[in-house]
Structure 1
Amino acid sequence: MSSKRDLIIQAAKQTFLKQGFEATSMDELALVANVARRTIYNQFDSKEELFNAVIIDIWKNVKPYRPEQNDEAQHNPSKGLFNLGMAIANYWSPPIVRSFLKLVIVEGDRFPDLPRNFYRLGKEPMIQSIFDYLTQMKHSHLLKIDDIGLATQQFIGMINEPLIGLGLIILSDEPDMQRKEHVVQAAVQCFINGYQP
């Protein structure tokens, strides 16, 4: 059985996506969640705090791949990068994640904490995992990388652009597994060719 907090978060997901952050009122959230307005404030100090709880909830089942937990990845950058790439490809799979990304982009000018928190609570751990892995590959002399931050962005871009670029403009169907694997394998090969010692 869901707690009142969970019911409020689920209602907030629907309402934020339907109305947007600015236009959503706590009264409306209370109506959709079928709770008293006071109940929402007992759980969340502000609409911003509730929005952050929604972001945490939509990211909770998306875990960054940890290459340090795989022995083969420690000695084989192609293997580690492929697994990291598949984690990237699957990161944006849930349509609700892409919908909220569009929402924070649209409302980010008026509420700059929205995109910052969306990044911090969701995407940042994935980026850090790639950065750390590339640092390790550099120190192990398995890849020759001068600018690890740039290399991290390049690797993510080679996967995100073909898989979700259009989906940020038009919410399209999620690419199937065969397409994801093809894009990731091509990105890994290109990356290895560019950064091999």
Structure 2
Amino acid sequence: MDEDEPTQTGAARYHRELARRNRAALLGAARRLFLDLGYDGTSLAKVAAEAGVSRATLFKQFPTKAELFSAMVTTSWATDDEQAPPVPGDPLTALSTLGTRYADLLTRPGMADLFRIVIAELPRFPELGRTHFDLGKMPFFDSVRDHLLAEQRAGTLQFRDADLVTTQFLGMIANYVLWPRMLLLDWDPDAASVARAVEEAALTVHARHAVPGSRGPGEPDTR
């Protein structure tokens, strides 16, 4: 038994790595085909062929097209695991950090196309909208709302409705970096313009909801 254990361990590691590579290939192929052909025009057979894997391999990981689309949406919105949440106490800096991350998400290649396909297919496949909302936007929305609540507990921000403040903050950013791109194919603001939009959104929320007399690290006491 002991002599066979390294071989068994090596085989298990190989199969895990193979499954990971196949999953990545399938998600990449699904993203390309969904964006090019639409939800209805994309079949699991086409995805398997595009990814260079067998249909059996695809069905093992994604038994239905809906599950594949859900995984593709989740991957499209995934953030870097190393992005730690801001520490409460300096809300203006935290809002700028979170706003920058949101702008980076919305300006990823293909993100506007993903929104377009969901909107286009929504009348026939309403579940796509729910998937895009629940697996895409909501996790990031929740992270911003949770930080706003942490700032409130820290005594730096005050508000009645965390959901509303989060919606307003993210909406100011999306209204500049994403929604014009949905209708204007040449809409492509430079990095400085996007950074300014994020800064103005952070300043607006901070000016409206900062607790009088509170200040972040290094800010002068203006009382």
TM-score (normalizing by structure 1): 0.85
Determine helix, strand or coil for the equivalent of 1:75.
coil
Distance 1:140 1:5, change over 3 A: closer
Which consecutive residues of structure 1, in runs of 5 or more, have no partner in the other structure? 69-73
CA contact (8 A) 2:180 2:187 kept: no
Amino acid at match of 1:117: T
Structure 2 gap segments, 5+ residues each: 1-17, 212-223
Structure 2 residue 195 is matched with structure 1 residue 177: no
Describe the shift of the 1:134–1:57 C-alpha distance in structure 2 as closer, same or farther (beyond 3 A).
closer
Assess if the C-alpha contact under 8 Å between 2:148 and 2:162 holds in 1.
yes
Q: Partner of 2:9 in structure 1?
A: none
The alpha-carbon deviation at position 76 of structure 1 amounts to 1.6
Q: What residue is the counterpart of 1:71 in the other structure?
A: none
Secondary structure at 2:63 match in 1 = coil
Cα 1:61–1:154 change in 2 (3 A) is closer
Q: 1:149 aligns with which of 159, 163, 182?
A: 163
Q: Which deviates the most, 149-158 or 28-37?
A: 28-37
Secondary structure of the residue aligned to 2:110 is helix
Quick one: which of 56, 60, 67 aligns to 2:78?
A: 60
Q: Distance in 1 between matches of 2:143 and 2:23?
A: 31
User: Kindly tell me: are residues 136 and 47 of structure 1, through their superposed partners in 2, closer, same or farther at Cα, counting changes over 3 Å?
Assistant: same
Of residues 198, 203, 209 in structure 2, which corresponds to 1:195? 209
Matched, 1:20 2:34: no
* Structure number with larger C-alpha Rg: 2
Separation (CA, whole Å) in 1 of partners of 2:160 and 2:183: 34
Contact 1:65 1:126 in 2 (8 A): no
User: What pairs with 1:1-197 in structure 2 (closer than 5 Å)?
Assistant: 3-61=21-79, 66-68=85-87, 74-172=88-186, 174-197=188-211
Q: 1:112 to 1:124 in 2, by over 3 A?
A: same
Conserved 8 A contact 2:107-2:177: no
The code of the aligned residue for 2:176 comes to P
Indicate conservation of the 8 Å contact 1:93/1:174, yes or no. no
Question: RMSD between aligned alpha carbons?
Answer: 2.3
Partners of 2:113 and 2:165 in 1: CA distance: 27
Q: Percent identity?
A: 30
Write the distance in 1 (CA, Å) between the matches of 2:151 and 2:21: 45
2:40 counterpart SS class:
coil
CA distance in 1, matches of 2:175, 2:168: 10
Instruction: Number of aligned residue pairs: give it.
Output: 192
Amino acid at match of 2:86: P
The SS at the match of 1:99 is: helix
